[in-house]
Amino acid sequence: MADIKAMFHQIKVAPEHRDALRFLWWLEGDVQRSPLTYWMTVHLFGGVWSPSCASYALKQTFLDHRDVCPDNMVDAQWNFYVDDLLISMQSADEGVRLAEQLRHVTSLGGFRLTKWASNSKEVLYSNPFPNQRGIRK
């Protein structure tokens, strides 16, 4: 299992759609002052559209980089539920290989897989991010 870190914030909103994500901000909370106007440039957590945009971007990442995707990894894209990955492999070696490939391909789309969990220590220890192995010290 793994999670894509801050998935919605990795996906840019097209400039022509940013007016829908406009918000006002009062400096120091002083509502007597004129507010500043800001626009979100990325999708936000809690937006009803965000999961579908995120899923589309992830699927597009796999399509754009299918030349570096072995068949079993192309199938792995269907094991994501928005930003959560859950997949089973026949052996620890297959799990290690798939995890490495998934980290690579998702990074090409600007995504980072974190919060790894597995019943195989080999898979967990293969993760290059030591603080993200899912192992309690």
Q: pLDDT tens digits for 3-62?
A: 999 999 999 999 999 999 999 999 999 999 999 999 999 998 888 999 999 999 999 999
Give the chain's largest Cα–Cα span: 64
Alpha carbon distance 17, 19 (integer Å): 6
Q: Average pLDDT in the 75-80 region?
A: 85
**Burial group, residue 21, by CB count within 10 angstroms (0-12, 13-18, 19+):** middle
Instruction: Name the pTM for this structure.
Output: 0.80
Residue 49, SS3 per DSSP: coil
Burial level of 30, CB count in 10 A (0-12/13-18/19+)?
exposed
- For the record, the structure tokens of 43 come out as 């999708």
Q: What are 91-111's pLDDT values in tens digits?
A: 999 999 999 999 999 999 999
Do the beta carbons of residue 94 and residue 118 sit within 8 Å? Answer: no
